[in-house]
Structure formats: C-alpha cells, structure tokens
Structure 1
C-alpha cells in the first residue's frame, strides 16, 4: 500500500512539472507577442552567419524598421568583428543613427569607421554621413555656431580626401550653408553693437564677414553696414570705399541705394580708396 502511494506521488509530481513548464512556455510566448521591442530572432542570432545578419539588417532598413536594422548591424559587429560584413555593418549603423536623429551616435560610429578603414570603398560615404550629422545640428544664427564649424571641417574632408566621390557636390553645398550661418552670426553680433553705437566693435564684426566669408549671402549687408558705421564715426574715406565696392558688386541692390543716399546726405559719393582694406577685400567678392 505504501508503494502504491509512492508511485502515485511520483506520477503527480511529473504531471505537475509538465503543467508548470507548459504554463511558463505559454507565458513566454505571450510576452514575446505583446512586447513590441523584443527581437524574436535573437535566440538564433548567435549562429547566424555574417551575410545573413547583414541582409536581415538591410531588409529591416528597407522596411522602415530602423530599430531592428540597428540591432542586426550591432549583432554582426559583436559576433563577427573581423568580417567584411562587419565593416559594412558599421557604416550602415552610422546611417541608421543619422536617420533616427541620433546625430552624436552617427558621428561616433563614422569616426570609428574612418579610424579603422580610412581607405575603404565606403570611407567617403562615412565621411559624408558625419558631415550630414553635424549639419543637422547647426542652430539659428542667434546661437553658438560650433556645429557649423564642425560641419565645414567634415564636409571639406569629403572634398579634399575623396574628390571623385558622388558626395562632393552636396558636400560643397553644405559647406556654403554652414559658412552663411557663420557669417550670419557675425552680422547678428555686429548689428547688436551698431544699434548701441559701439562702432569699432561693429566694424570688427562686419570686417570679418567681408574678409573671411566673401562669397556668402551676408556680404552685401556687411558692406552697407560698414558704410553706416564708418560714416557715423566720421571716417568718410572708408565709408565711401565700402559704398563703391558695394556698388561695383551689387549695383542693383537696395543696400547700395541706401548707402548711396546716406553718403549723398553728407555731400559725398562712393569713391574707392586703393589703400583701404575694403578695396583689397573687394577683389575677392563674387562680382569682382
């Protein structure tokens, strides 16, 4: 009788264990189905060859599933760090970070890639992504413009190091935009000083625009502001030179019309002085 009870207890224990395992498995499946962030392929990812992980990453990226794409590329980098696919995954992961607005992560990834593979076929693309990430962080001219400087540096590297790449034309466009922002910042500060009649400080800012950013869209106003500042200081020869350079490069400009009228109100007219820094800088302008 004791033996029968013992056998029944063992049988009950086995049944209970099976039920518990089944319930646990059901709960795990339910959790996987309800959690949108879980990667259902992660249990097999350890054995996936690099080309499979890479193609899975591309497929997710093309489907707009950037989070899953990033996980595949990161898994490839961890599991097959010395493969050709790992190299490609690194630059693709940088692109995914850029696409997701994670600009610093994109910059870090491209920096790592360029340190490891500076002469690879994707190096130009990595450098271009880095430049794009900095460009996206350029703020309004009222704020600090360090990202603009970084964008110029990164995009200039595209132009200088990879002159035959397909990214050069857009890199040059981004450089012009960033330079316009830097010039705009100088103008914003210069106008601040001009409004407060701190003319020497204002001239310094406007001079920076004319000399350092001669081919930006800020030069026209900068020359006009120089006319205004020098005229207010009584340095009429420089005011006349600034107006002459402005009229030579932008004869139909409203800024030139305003400058001409200002000089005319004092019995003066535009006249270029060959010894002026403005005349020398004027030779580098767009219309020179």
Structure 2
C-alpha cells in the first residue's frame, strides 16, 4: 500500500512538474545572423518569388494530411501550421542563406558527408508500426529510439522501455502530421530549386519548409528531456547536429530548421495542456526511473 501511494505521488509530481524542465534557448549562431537580413521580397530577384515546390515531385507523404493527431487537437495543428512563415524567395535573407549553404558545400569533408548521410537515413514512420510483418518494422522501432541509442546505447529501446515507446510513438505521429501540414500548406521550394550551383547530396520529394528531420530531432529531444532530465544537454546537442546536417546536405535552408525548432517547442507547450499526454509522460518517467539504472549503470 505504501509503495502504491509513493507511486501515485510520484506520478502526480511528474504531471505538476511538466513544462518546467525545458526552455527554448534563444536563437543563436548563423540562424540569428541570417535573420538580421530583410525577409521581404526584393524586386531585383522577383523571378524567384514565382517558384514553388514542383507538384510533379510530390511524394506519398501528402497522405499525412488525412491522419488524425494523437496528442494535439486539430485546432492546435492548424494554429501551429499558421504560426510560422518562411522569408520570401527573393529576399536578402534567402540570398544570404543560399550563399551560406554554398560555403558549406565548398567545405564539405568526406567525414561530414558520411555522417550527414547516415543521419539522413534515420526516420520513424507511424504506419509501419501498425504492421509487425513489415520488412522495416524492427528498423522503424530502432529509429524511434535513435537519439537515446546514440547517447546511451542499444539497450535503450522499445522492448526494454514500452511506456517510453508509447509516448514517443504518439509524439512522432503528431510530428509527422505537423511536418507535412506545414510543408503542403506553404510549398516552399528546396534550396536547389533557387540556386543552380547547389549540388545536394540527395533530393527530397516533399516541400522544404519546415524541416522534418529537425522537427523530430527537437520534439524528441524536448520529450526525452522531460523523461531523462540529466541528459537534456546531450539531447539538445544531438538535435542541433541533426538540424545542421540538413544544411550541409544542401536540402534545407537555415530558416527551415529554425522554424522546426520553434514548432517543436510549441508542441510541447500544447502537450502541457493535454491530460492523456501528461499521464503517458508520467508513466514513461516512472518506467525510466525504475528500469534505466539497469542499463545506464553499465556506461
């Protein structure tokens, strides 16, 4: 009875403490510098404002517009999708972003290329998780736990942490919906559609804004920071590496990535109002406190 009471108090404490563990760091580095340039259209490059992401290159991701959110409400999805905008294609800001990316391209090293291409292949896709017979089922769950495995080892996985897995699956369903709702609402062309001298390491069959990789990197980092506060700095640092990798690859503007960081944090703020999320989070925290010492003590 005493143990049950302690568990209840712990769970309630987890709910009450939610949203106090993380804050959004101020915009910094080149993201801050690039935003000092005008985001307004520049008549000298007016042709650039006629360019949208080519409809002939749309991929199957557009079906996420039909998917229901998990923790977010539909009104919150709408509000989030309307909370961000990208600078005009012809703007001085975009011109400077493209020049920045050209400089990154000129400085790419073989080691960088290997790492960013590895990160590019990471991705959890909710529909795959519905089919245990799917050839990518096991890899999909590994990718769900990529950030924690990268930082704390292979034992931090869906099998050992089912409550954490449930939480992350819900967050990632919302994340994919947010990603493609924003992308297909705004139809921003990729950087290589505007700058012919950019030679991306790959091309992507969805619009540029906002970055999906950066969105999942930060929404997971923020969520994990609620579960494992002691690793918060490490999770944020990994998310930063992931967002910068998209610029090195030549497939995302810095403004795509900063917008995704902002949206990820706003998602967590909405979650603080959701009782189902708070319950799932509390159960994930309890599981982490109980089970993680078995594995993390080996490190």
TM over 0.5: no
Larger relative contact order (CA 8 Å, sep ≥ 6): 2
User: Whose radius of gyration is greater, 1 or 2?
Assistant: 1
Q: TM-score, normalised by structure 2?
A: 0.20
Structure having the higher helix fraction is 1
